[in-house]
Homo-oligomer: A and B are copies of this chain.
Amino acid sequence: MALTRAECLARDKADPLAPFRERFVLPENIVYLDGNSLGALPKAAAARARKAVEVEWGGDLIKSWNVHRWIDLPQRAGAKIARLVGAKAGEVIVADSTSVNLFKMLAAALRMRPERRVILSEPGNFPTDLYVAQGLIEMLGGKHELKLVPGEKVAAAIDENVAVVSLTHVNYKSGRIHDMAAVTAAAHAKGALMLWDLAHSAGALPVDLNAARADLAVGCGYKYLNGGPGAPAYLFVAERHQEAVRPPLAGWMGHAHPFTFDVDYEPAKGIARNLCGTPPIISMSALDAALDVLIEADMTLIREKSLAMGDLFLALVDQECGSHGFKNGSAARHERGSQVGLLHPEGYAIMQALIARGVIGDFRAPDMLRFGFAPLYNRYVEVWDAVAGLKAVMDSRAWDTASFKARAAVT
């Protein structure tokens, strides 16, 4: 029997996470399925950014470093993220961008395994993860190698030459989840360190770094954490490694005594040494407030709803768009992150037409329409409306117009 829109509305009514929707600003008449690129705006983050600007900066000026505790905001926000990723409060800190943090963590890993020469990753890893490794290797004189093997073969490819295995927990494109515990164990079995990029998993599904015995991790503040455009990122260093990390980016905010203005660098104790320069307080304040919303929610419920939304989406595409030639480009259900992918040779133009109708997903070359589910603010009925929009685009061939084709041609 066919699924109906009314059934989707009924599921929203029964959804224990439904009240969170009101905690977000979402534009009218838009179905936003791109929270995996930029999370929606939590109302608390808007209020907090305004307070950071108008009350803290404008009113209390330099005193805010103490009065409003700007000085330990990286630690405080980090402690909130720690709860989302199975870490202790002192193992996570918010700083810089994911790319810069990757650099720090890869450099630390190579230093901790000086006799080893290989950074192991997969070709489909998020590009910046690969670029940063390439830049680091070049900087270190080319003695190291970035070795790429397909994701499912990574564990078997770890050997005694591997200093660090660097993977994104959930692949940005396929949405496939790596088995964190298994790959980490495989790395450790060969004496390698394990570095996880949590950009597409933290906030969307349960992550337990310490249960997996992960060594290092980084993650993004602006996807499922809803921290705002270009929100500061974070990094994790397992407690047992913290004293071994000598930060290559040895900035004053990571100094043991930043305000004594010593001539010589002395890294701070613990995670704080991984700070570098002065952090962007307004952006970080928005992230900090966004985290408060997220940590209120039960991650098990988030995961259940995320999977249910993905199932619903794929079922509805079968039901409504079965004749339009989409292939399922999603990972298998048991290893699927909080996103699905549809493959179509005209994917770019179709996504442009869909966005023009107010259904926001995104496109990843060569042929994937990508849809992300953010269970805190997405509704089941939006899944219906998204697929209905897709059907309308396909039925009317709205995508097959000069303007969309032209745009596709230049991209």
Partner of A41, one of B46, B57, B278: B57
Residues A127 and B282 in contact, CB atoms below 8 Å apart = no
Please give me the residue from chain B that is nearest to A101 by CB atom.
Answer: B277
Q: Which residues of B contact A127 (CB under 8 A)?
A: 252, 255, 258, 261-263
Contacts of A41 in B (CB 8 A): 53-54, 57-58
Fill in one digit per residue for A226-258: 1 if any B CB lies within 8 Å of its CB, else 0. Answer: 001111110000000000001111111101001
Tell me the chain A residues, 53-79 only, with Cβ under 8 Å from chain B. Answer: 53-54, 56-65, 70
Shortest Cβ gap from A246 to chain B (Å): 7
Compute how far the CA of A141 lies from the CA of B146 in the bound complex, rounded to whole angstroms.
Answer: 20
Cβ-defined contact, A251 with B281, below 8 A: no
Interface string of A344-361 (1 = CB under 8 A from B): 000000000001000010
Contact, CB under 8 Å: A228 / B281: yes
Q: Which of A2-10, A91-99, A181-189 sits within the interface?
A: A91-99
B53–A365 contact, CB under 8 A? no
Given A230-B284, A277-B128, A282-B282, verify A27-B96 contact (CB < 8 Å). Answer: no
| A283 CB–B CB distance under 8 Å | yes
Interface pair A229/B57, CB less than 8 Å apart: yes
For the complex, give the distance between the alpha carbons of A402 and B148 in Å: 64
A180 to chain B minimum Cβ distance, whole angstroms, is 23
From residue 134 to 154 of chain A, which have CB atoms closer than 8 A to chain B? 134-136, 138-140, 148
CA distance A283 to B232 in the complex (A): 10
| From B46, B138, B278, contact of A230 by CB (8 A) | B278
CA distance A247 to B136 in the complex (A): 9
| Residues of A within 8 A of B (CB-CB), count | 90
Q: Which stretch from A30-38, A81-89, A203-211, A310-318 is at the chain B interface?
A: A30-38
A194 to chain B, nearest CB (A): 21
CB of A97 within 8 A of CB of B278, answer yes
Q: Find out whether the CB atom of B246 lies under 8 angstroms from the CB atom of A103.
A: no
Q: Could you say which residues of chain B place their CB within 8 Å of the CB of A286? A: 53, 282
Q: Does A260 sit within 8 A of B, measured CB to CB? A: yes
Please report which residues of chain A, range 354-379, place their CB below 8 angstroms from some CB of chain B when the two chains form the complex: 355, 360, 362, 364-365
B49 and A53 within 8 A (CB): yes
A62 touches B360 (CB 8 A): yes
A39 to B111, alpha carbons, bound, how many Å? Answer: 39
* A365 to B385 Cα, complex, angstroms: 63
Tell me if A192 is interfacial: C-beta within 8 Å of chain B. Answer: no
A41–B54 alpha-carbon span in the complex (Å): 8
Asked if A96 and B54 make an inter-chain contact with CB atoms under 8 angstroms apart, the answer reads: no
Is A303 on the interface with B (CB-CB < 8 A)?
no
Task: Give the top 4 A-B pairs by smallest Cβ distance, nearest first.
Answer: A97-B277, A135-B250, A99-B251, A99-B277
Question: What are 18 A-B pairs with beta-carbon distances under 8 A?
Answer: A45-B53, A53-B286, A57-B228, A62-B362, A64-B229, A96-B96, A96-B97, A97-B276, A99-B278, A127-B263, A128-B277, A131-B250, A131-B264, A132-B249, A138-B248, A140-B140, A229-B281, A261-B364
